[in-house]
Structure 1
Amino acid sequence: MTHRTRRTAVLLALAALVAGLLTTPTTAATPSARAGGAEVWQRVQQPHVENPTNPLAGRLWGVYSGPQDQVTAPYQRARGRKKRLIATIALRPRTKWYGAFVPDASIRDQVTKYIASSQAGDPEKLVQLAVFRMKPWEGEACVRRSTTAEKRSYRRWINQLAAGIGSTPTAVVMQPDMPFLWCAPDRKAKARLLTWATQRLSALPRTSVYLDAGAADWCQNERGANPETCAQALKLTGVRYARGFALDSTHYNGAAENVRHGVAIVDILRRDGYGTKHFIVDTAKSGRPMTWPEVIPASRRDLKDNARVCTRASMRRCVTLGIPPTARPGSPEWGLPEDVRKAAATYVDGFLWFGRPWLFNQADPFVTSRAVAMARTTPWPGPA
């Protein structure tokens, strides 16, 4: 290299550096322009100094890649660019949902196998699961009481789940779509069962339970998102035993909206004698935040649970992947407003992917076209 060529290269490098330093970060532009770095499943992330007891930090997060997950097989079958796009989901930690579709006699074995695959030989890795076991639930819970047999089955199932978890470092999202509790004719009985389950799992040595609290736009059906209502549901279902609560399991609000809403719930719980609780936020589907009234179904035949996906970067009122899973939700790299960043560092244990927008109706089956579109339009870089 000649002296002139070397000098030109240096000047170009300095110009690029200055341009980068002068660029004003935004939540949409900055992530897409930045190369993906090591993530929480690749490198241990230490807790924020504001939240030193964060049980999700200080350890790697496991990634499950077995037959219990709907993403794994399509990822393994895919080739070329499609495989690289699906990898944006498949290679990252996700929360496995378990419910009544797993028999009482099978739940312990299934969870044990799930843990073994997720940890891949490292017993310190964090495992994530959601307990969606209450029966009836959602719409059916509004019109039918749990039978005596269903209550007994619920207790058997939870006890077997606890036996399967044992001393595994585990984050548990307890009963997604908790706002349906309000419409149940046997609300008190269901609340007692959920309280018992929360206490049972929280008593495990390394399990952190986060009770679902709806979303920034949803605490009770047809009643909006009053944080007092969210807090009341948490009090009824055992938050006194839990690490805290979870937000946005099935809605599409943004990280900033949920953090501000979560802090309001934390303040209410503290006011009412429950101490300082922490929370987690789903960011799997909030790359383009929207409220429930703004959601457009994928087709006229679909429900809002199956919202349309983004097909171009400028599209709005659509679903695409949000902030990658992280134990450092207050990091500046997420481009959050300063008040939200500080609150997240203090009260949020992590941004997790416990929502499942790549599944039909966020439930089943895996839809390749949805996954590919979301991976192509997300404002955040894929995994390194």
Structure 2
Amino acid sequence: MPSHASPRPRPRVRLRDVVLVGVLVSVLVAGVAVALWVVPGGHSDGAAPVARSTDSAASGASDLATPSPSTPAPPPPRVSAGAAPRLETTPVAGRRLVATVRKKRGWTPGVRFAYQWLVDGKRIAGATRPTLVPTDEMVGRSVSVQVLGRVPGYRPAVSRSKARTILPDNPLAGGEWAVYRGPWNGIYPAYERAGGEDKGLLARIALQPRVIWFAGDFSTSSIGPQLRTFIAEQQAVSGKDALIQIAVFREWPRGEGGRGKPLSGSEQAAYRAWVDAAADAIGDARVAMVLEPDLGLNAVPNNSWETRTADPAVRLGLVKYAARRFSALPRTSVYLDASDSDWLSVPKIVPVLEAAGIGYTRGFALGATHYSSVADNIDYGMRIIDALDADGISGKKFVIDTADNGRPFTWMQHRSEHPGADFDNAATCRSASDTTCDTLGVPPTTDVAGQPGLDLTARQRTDALRYVDAYLWFGRPWLIRQASPFSLSRSLEVARSTPFQ
């Protein structure tokens, strides 16, 4: 009987064995992968390994995670800043100022400019054009202009002009001031005759520009020829553009003592004819004019015992005619007399000025025949300007007499210290310690803010710079009662005692 071997029994595959084999395979595959990551290419020199993979998807993911650095684009070139902008004229309040830039002087071709004006280094809002009109409030401050140069495809460049000081619009500033060398008032002939110390003292008066008064003692027929000769003689010495200084004192044909009697019709006509003749003689000469010293006598007097003017409206109407006529001349600057800080309040003098034609004139004058300080008259003048502004009359300037206020004092101080003495002929100073006495003040000048010895506050200096055209000598302390005749002794005393020369 054949023998048949019994078949070998098949080993039973159990689920747990399958799972175990799967785990072993997974571990083996993972180990190989780790070996490939940790030792790519068999690095043995300590260099940082770099993972490598032949899987394109894996490679792409790696590139996104760590992008390779790129070189930044270079910045565009900057506009070449060439010649700086320039201010074509001296900065003056009220006058158009023009800035220019020369494009061909080093600037990138095709450049275009944006402008910005600055005052004291700070931007002026809205001032972005090539022109600027400085205001009175800017006087004394520095102005400059900044330009931004642009060219398409370039970075812009900035350039700024030099800063320059803004000056007041002052017709008295600049040029030569004529010095009267004729016989009137006696001071120049006395200087020519003098010698030694006296000559030096008299020169302090005689060689200064002074206001010469033209009054009613010149007839209507003579005022024209006299003025023409007066102007021509000074222009012959100082030039055609020299500043000539005069005062017109014609409102009182019978003198101030006769103001209680009204002017007749013929006297009114004579006033207008006289003014016409004087205006024709002045013509196009450069003139500073103080119009009608003692105009304030038309106001209500401060004291009940003073003689009142009989016809102030008539007289002020005549002065208004003169203000309009003289102010119409091309180079005549008219200043109506407006009293002094110690004489007439602002409510009294402002209506007088308005009735006398202040609207036509450059402004007003302070200090004639009085001795108040420059500081007090600056403050007084500013109050007048404020009152005129409130009445719609703006833009006015003023001048201050400094011929006789070297040691300033008021009418009340004089009355207290010298009872019964003549205020118009105040005693002259004899020594440096004298007070309440008459002596020369600051010499005539348009440098109103820079004079030492005036003790001005910062505010007063600013106000002076903006609103005071000049310190003039229209008082005459070298004359008896500041009118006539010439006094050699007074002249020497006020010249010797002045603290300003």
| 2:400 corresponding residue in structure 1 | 281
Q: How does 1:67-78 map to 2 (within 5 A)?
A: 67-78=183-194
1:335-374 matched pairs, under 5 angstroms: 335=454, 336-374=456-494
Report the equivalent of 1:218: 343
Query: Aligned with 2:180: secondary structure?
Result: coil
Structure 2 partner of 1:190: 315
Partner of 1:164: 281
* Structure 1 residues 181 and 71, CA gap change in structure 2 (3 angstroms): same
Aligned to 2:153: none
CA contact (8 A) 1:70 1:366 kept: yes
CA 1:201 to 1:298, structure 2 compared with 1: closer, same or farther past 3 Å?
farther
Is 1:85 aligned to residue 201 of structure 2? yes
More helix by share: 1
Alignment of 1:257-296 (within 5 A): 257-295=376-414
TM superposition shift of 1:75 = 1.1
CA drift at 1:298: 12
- Mapping of 1:88-99 within 5 angstroms? 88-99=204-215
Q: Match of 2:221, SS? A: coil
- Cα shift at 1:118: 2.3
1:128 aligns with 2:245: yes
Q: For the residues of structure 1 that align with 2:322 and 2:232, how far apart are their CA atoms?
A: 23
Corresponding position of 1:140: 257
1:148 CA drift (Å): 1.4
Of structures 1 and 2, the one scoring higher in RCO (CA 8 A, sep 6+) is 1
Aligned partner of residue 248 in structure 2, secondary structure: strand
Aligned residue for 1:209, secondary structure, equals: strand
Task: From the superposition, tell whether residues 89 and 254 of structure 1 become closer, same or farther in structure 2 (CA, over 3 Å).
Answer: same
Offset of residue 71 of structure 1 = 1.0
What CA distance in whole angstroms lies between the structure 1 residues aligned with 2:167 and 2:274? 33
Structure 1 range deviating more: 128-137 or 254-263: 128-137
Pair 172,332 (structure 1): closer, same or farther in 2 beyond 3 Å? closer
CA distance 1:355–1:349, shift in 2 (3 Å): same
Deviations 1:217-275 (A, max 9, x none): 112xxxxxx21222111101000000000001111101111011001101111111011
Deviations 1:80-136 (A, max 9, x none): 101110110000000000111111111111111111222225011100100001124
- Whether contact under 8 Å (2:427, 2:437) holds in the other structure is yes
Higher mean C-alpha deviation, range 58-67 or range 346-355 = 58-67
1:312 equivalenced with 2:431 (yes/no) = yes
Q: Secondary structure at the match of 2:466?
A: helix
Query: Whose radius of gyration is greater, 1 or 2?
Result: 2
Q: Secondary structure at the match of 1:315?
A: coil
CA distance in 2, matches of 1:80, 1:295: 34
Label 1:51 to 1:235 Cα distance change in 2 as closer, same or farther (>3 A): farther
Q: Matched residues in 1 for 2:476 and 2:451: separation?
A: 26
The 1:68–1:164 alpha-carbon spacing in structure 2 relative to 1, beyond 3 Å, is farther
Residue of structure 2 equivalent to 1:104: 220
The code of the aligned residue for 1:358 comes to W
**Structure 2 match to 1:27:** none
Equivalents in 2 of 1:56, 1:121: separation in Å? Answer: 15
- The alignment's C-alpha RMSD in Å is 2.0
Higher strand proportion: 2
In structure 2, give the amino acid aligned to 1:102. F
**Matched positions, count:** 329
Q: Percent identity?
A: 40
Q: C-alpha separation between the residues in 1 aligned to 2:478 and 2:398?
A: 24
Residues 297, 198 of structure 1: CA spacing in aligned structure 2 closer, same or farther, 3 A cutoff?
A: farther
Counterpart residue identity of residue 183, structure 2: P
Deviation at 1:293, TM superposition (A): 2.1
Per-residue Cα deviation, 1:323-374 (whole angstroms, up to 9, x for no partner): 1100121125354222211110000000000000110010011111111111
Q: TM-score, normalised by structure 1?
A: 0.82
Task: Write the distance in 1 (CA, Å) between the matches of 2:430 and 2:282.
Answer: 39
Secondary structure class of the residue paired with 1:349 = strand
